[in-house]
């Protein structure tokens, strides 16, 4: 095996530890015939596996203590059950291999338990676990599920599903490496939430030997197999330096050659403002006002209440800009009192700006509240509408703002492919665009953002999405106007560089991502970002686009 492997770094930092594989479900062993002369040896192999698994369960029970000990000891007794052992030996004597005999004997025992009343039926899962352990040991494959380890380890898996990771002990997981997955995969999200380094989309990850020492660099996506002491020291020092460069990364967002890209924060209300200030956000790029409407009252909040809340956010950025999005109700953000309950396809129905145009009084009240909130403040207020599909939508929104007496810079979110394709016509009505890449991905790929089965389409590196981002940015440039990004895509540091190269003029993200994006942007010139953008768009898949950009930006 090569000593350096490369995947996609999705959660920063360096982890050095031994590989523990996430065991996959045990496959049904093949029904091979055992020659008569092999029977005693095969029976001995089965007995040893049963005994080893029982001893292991007892040992882990002793360590765990309490209720867990009782469960593990009960499981050990299953592996020591004389009748079960006799049945396994009988099955081997009739020509089955040990794995197959264990599998079938447990299946028969399982059927008995399943029919034996509620209490015993509840033990079926424990029995399956014992069977999987014995079969895995006989087959020489990792135990299924989360690794059994009392020592910290680097978790290696094909991919991680929420159910797999529910049982993870976060104090033992030093980092993640997966063969599949992308930056928005569950593995990546979980790693970022745990604050551990992670590399995904690493070809050959599942072939890393169990127990081997590896170093995971979650920033570069590199994996070093059996790193020397010098390499370990070098990586640890580089990681510490990166941490302090992140801490030192302050000031406005810009490329290394000074091309400015304001870094803004996404907030849901005043409670999110301190974190945005702490991260050095240059303003708010997306104020999701719908949280204010979710107070459980079953109606829109009063104009006064809205104005007071908006003012709190505006006051926090006296010299910055604050982009407020008017209410985005419907589909993934339903509001009982506004969202029709009988739509066959809520994401394609009355949502976003469409909801507001169907309830003009709600829009009017919100716009008046914004005008009141901004009165007398030096803040640079911008107000945008969600789900603008065409110029007619943009004009309806701009007219409503003017009628409400709102003096602010007006914008349209680009969340529907039609808006990206006809961005120049939309810009005849408004002053700026803001790309909502979460919905733009949903509508570009006809893939509901809430449906896990189609989640691969939420990967913002898809070249088709990059094309639509480029088209929007190009239209804004041609009109002398701005085009920011406020979807999740902006929080991926590498993609932030690519989008800068595509011509977007600001990036808005959750406060926690700002430092990473700022530091990464500051490491590259605008020309590098443009080359990375060109390389990413020249590919056919999200993974290829990510790799192509990485290659350009890492100077390989
Ligand atoms: C988006 O769709 O990318 C976006 C920023 O809006 P939301 O996630 O609130 O729909
Ligand atoms: Mg959206």
**Choice among 147-151, 288-292, 302-306 with the minimum mean pLDDT:** 147-151
**Choice among 40-44, 126-130, 274-278 with the minimum mean pLDDT:** 126-130
pLDDT at 82: 93
pLDDT at 333: 83
Ligand 1 atom 3, closest CA: 436
Residue 332's pLDDT band (cuts 50, 70, 90): confident
Ligand 1 atom 4, closest CA: 436
Helix (H, G, I), strand (E, B) or coil at 173: strand
pLDDT average, residue stretch 421-436: 98
- C-alpha span between 29 and 98 (Å, rounded): 9
**Has residue 64 got a pLDDT over 80?**
no
Ligand 1 atom 10, closest CA: 439
- The helix, strand and coil proportions of the chain, stated in percent and rounded to the nearest 5, come to 50, 15, 35
pLDDT at 469: 98
Task: Output the six-digit token pair for 224.
Answer: 């070093």
Ligand 1 in reach of 439 Cβ (< 6 A)? yes
Q: Which atom of ligand 1 is nearest to the CA of 435?
A: 3
**Has residue 6 got a pLDDT over 60?**
yes
**Active-site residues: which are they?**
186, 486
- C-alpha span between 542 and 177 (Å, rounded): 19
**Choice among 128-142, 282-296, 344-358, 359-373 with the minimum mean pLDDT:** 128-142
CB 328 within 8 A of CB 290: yes
Helix (H, G, I), strand (E, B) or coil at 307: helix
Task: Output the six-digit token pair for 206.
Answer: 């599942």
pLDDT average, residue stretch 243-254: 86
Q: Which atom of ligand 1 is nearest to the CA of 266?
A: 5
The per-residue pLDDT for range 458-499, each reduced to its tens digit, is 889 999 999 999 999 999 999 999 999 999 899 888 999 999
**Residue 284, CB-side half-sphere exposure with 13 Å CA sphere:** 32
CB 284 within 8 A of CB 276: yes
Ligand 1 in reach of 354 Cβ (< 6 A)? no
**Has residue 365 got a pLDDT over 60?**
yes
Sheet-wide strand order for 213-217: 4-6, 222-225, 213-217, 14-21, 153-157, 173-178, 198-200, 8-11
Helix (H, G, I), strand (E, B) or coil at 216: strand
Cα 438 to ligand 1 centre (Å): 5
Average pLDDT across the chain, whole number: 89
CB 428 within 8 A of CB 401: no
**Choice among 159-173, 414-428, 472-486 with the minimum mean pLDDT:** 159-173
Residue 260, φ and ψ in degrees, nearest 5? -80, 135
Helix (H, G, I), strand (E, B) or coil at 11: strand
- C-alpha span between 28 and 161 (Å, rounded): 22
Contacts of 193 by beta carbon, 8 Å cutoff, 6+ apart: none
pLDDT average, residue stretch 26-52: 88
**Choice among 147-151, 378-382, 462-466 with the minimum mean pLDDT:** 147-151
Residue 244, φ and ψ in degrees, nearest 5? -75, -30
H helices of 140-265, in order, are 162-165, 186-194, 229-248
The per-residue pLDDT for range 91-119, each reduced to its tens digit, is 999 999 999 999 999 999 888 877 766 56
Cα 123 to ligand 1 centre (Å): 45
CB 453 within 8 A of CB 472: no
Contacts of 241 by beta carbon, 8 Å cutoff, 6+ apart: none
The DSSP bridge pattern shows strands 213-217 and 14-21 to be antiparallel
pLDDT average, residue stretch 357-378: 95
- C-alpha span between 73 and 75 (Å, rounded): 5
Say what angle helices 463-478 and 493-502 make with each other, to 10 degrees: 40
Short-list 387, 392, 434, CA closest to 409: 434
CB 29 within 8 A of CB 135: yes
Surface-to-core class of residue 490, CB atoms within 10 Å of its CB (0-12 exposed, 13-18 middle, 19+ buried)? buried
Short-list 218, 316, 305, CA closest to 276: 316
Ligand 1 atom 8, closest CA: 438
Cα 438 to ligand 2 centre (Å): 6
pLDDT at 25: 65
DSSP secondary structure of 323-389 = EEEP---BTTB--TTTS-TT-S-GGGSS-THHHHHHSHHHHHHHHHHHHHHHTT---EEEEEESS--
Q: Which long-range contacts (CB under 8 A, 24 or more apart) does 82-86 make?
A: 84/109, 85/47, 85/50
- C-alpha span between 463 and 546 (Å, rounded): 10
pLDDT at 474: 98
State pTM to two decimals. Answer: 0.67
pLDDT at 379: 84
Ligand 1 in reach of 437 Cβ (< 6 A)? yes
Residue 527's pLDDT band (cuts 50, 70, 90): very high
The per-residue pLDDT for range 296-331, each reduced to its tens digit, is 788 899 999 999 999 999 999 988 899 999 999 998
Ligand 1 in reach of 429 Cβ (< 6 A)? no
Short-list 434, 501, 64, CA closest to 255: 501
Q: For the chain, give the percent of residues with pLDDT over 90.
A: 61
Residue 143's pLDDT band (cuts 50, 70, 90): confident
**Has residue 162 got a pLDDT over 60?**
no
Residue 506, φ and ψ in degrees, nearest 5? -155, 160
Task: Output the six-digit token pair for 347.
Answer: 């994401």
**Has residue 278 got a pLDDT over 60?**
yes
CB 476 within 8 A of CB 483: yes
Q: Which atom of ligand 1 is nearest to the CA of 442?
A: 2
Q: C-alpha distances in angstroms, 454 versus 199, 357, 479?
A: 22, 30, 36
Backbone angle region of 195, left / alpha / beta, with phi > 0 → left and psi within -120 to 50 → alpha: left
pLDDT at 495: 95
Residue 23: alpha-carbon gap to chain centroid: 22
CB 499 within 8 A of CB 484: no
pLDDT at 94: 93
The per-residue pLDDT for range 229-239, each reduced to its tens digit, is 999 999 999 88
pLDDT at 289: 95
Q: Which atom of ligand 1 is nearest to the CA of 438?
A: 3
Ligand 1 in reach of 438 Cβ (< 6 A)? yes
Residue 359's pLDDT band (cuts 50, 70, 90): very high
pLDDT average, residue stretch 137-152: 82
**Has residue 187 got a pLDDT over 80?**
no
**Choice among 66-70, 461-465, 513-517, 545-549 with the minimum mean pLDDT:** 66-70
- What spatial distance separates the first Cα and last Cα of the chain, rounded to whole Å? 22
**Residue-wise burial string across 201-226, b where 16 or more C-beta atoms lie within 10 A, e elsewhere:** bbeebbebeeeeebbbbbbbbbbbbe
Say what angle helices 514-521 and 229-248 make with each other, to 10 degrees: 100
For tokens 């028969």, what's the residue?
A: 108
pLDDT average, residue stretch 32-46: 90
């Amino acid at each position: 095996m090569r000593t350096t492997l490369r995947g996609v770094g999705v959660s920063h930092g360096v982890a050095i530890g031994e590989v523990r594989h996430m065991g996959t479900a045990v496959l049904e062993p093949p029904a091979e015939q055992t020659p008569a002369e092999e029977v005693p040896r095969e029976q001995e192999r089965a007995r040893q596996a049963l005994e080893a698994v029982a001893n292991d369960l007892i040992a882990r029970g002793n360590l765990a203590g309490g209720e867990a000990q009782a469960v593990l000891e009960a499981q050990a007794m299953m592996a020591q059950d004389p009748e079960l052992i006799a049945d396994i030996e009988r099955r081997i004597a009739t020509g089955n291999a040990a794995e197959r005999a264990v599998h079938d004997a447990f299946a028969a025992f399982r059927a008995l338990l399943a029919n034996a009343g509620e209490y015993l039926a509840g033990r079926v899962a424990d029995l399956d676990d014992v069977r999987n352990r014995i079969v895995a040991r006989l087959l020489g494959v990792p135990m299924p599920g989360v690794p059994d380890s009392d020592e910290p380890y680097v978790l290696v898996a094909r991919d991680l599903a929420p159910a797999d990771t529910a049982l993870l002990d976060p104090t033992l997981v030093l980092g993640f490496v997966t063969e599949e997955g992308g930056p928005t995969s569950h593995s990546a999200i979980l790693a970022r939430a745990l604050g551990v380094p992670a590399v995904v989309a690493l070809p050959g990850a599942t072939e890393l030997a169990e127990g081997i020492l590896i170093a995971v660099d979650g920033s570069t996506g590199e994996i070093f197999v059996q790193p020397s002491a010098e390499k370990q020291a070098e990586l640890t020092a580089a990681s510490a330096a990166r941490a302090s460069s992140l801490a030192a990364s302050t000031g406005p967002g810009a490329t290394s050659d000074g091309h400015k890209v304001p870094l803004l924060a996404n907030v849901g209300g005043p409670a999110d403002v301190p974190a945005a200030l702490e991260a050095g956000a240059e303003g708010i790029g997306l104020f999701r006002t719908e949280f204010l409407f979710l107070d459980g009252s079953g109606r829109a909040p009063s104009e006064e209440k809205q104005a007071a809340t908006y003012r709190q956010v505006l006051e926090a950025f006296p010299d910055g800009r604050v982009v407020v999005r008017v209410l985005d109700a419907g589909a993934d953000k339903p509001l009982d009192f506004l969202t029709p309950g009988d739509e066959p396809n809520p994401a394609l129905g009355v949502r976003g700006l469409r909801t507001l145009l169907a309830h003009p009084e709600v829009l009017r009240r919100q716009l008046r509240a914004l005008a009141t909130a901004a009165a007398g403040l030096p803040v640079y207020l911008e107000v945008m509408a969600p789900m603008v599909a065409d110029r007619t939508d943009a004009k309806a929104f701009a007219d409503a703002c003017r009628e409400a007496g709102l003096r602010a810079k007006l914008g349209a979110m680009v969340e529907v492919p039609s808006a990206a394709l006809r961005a120049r016509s939309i810009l005849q009505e408004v002053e700026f665009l803001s790309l909502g890449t979460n919905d733009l991905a949903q509508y570009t790929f006809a893939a509901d953002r809430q449906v896990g089965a189609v989640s691969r389409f939420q990967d913002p590196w898809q070249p088709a999405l990059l094309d639509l981002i480029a088209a929007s940015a190009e239209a804004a440039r041609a009109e002398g106007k701005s085009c920011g990004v406020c979807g999740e895509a902006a929080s991926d540091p590498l993609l932030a560089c690519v989008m800068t190269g595509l011509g977007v003029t600001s990036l808005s993200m959750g406060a926690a991502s700002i430092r990473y994006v700022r530091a990464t942007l500051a490491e590259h010139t605008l020309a590098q970002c443009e080359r990375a953008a060109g390389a990413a768009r020249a590919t056919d898949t999200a993974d290829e686009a990510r790799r192509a950009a990485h290659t350009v930006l890492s100077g390989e």
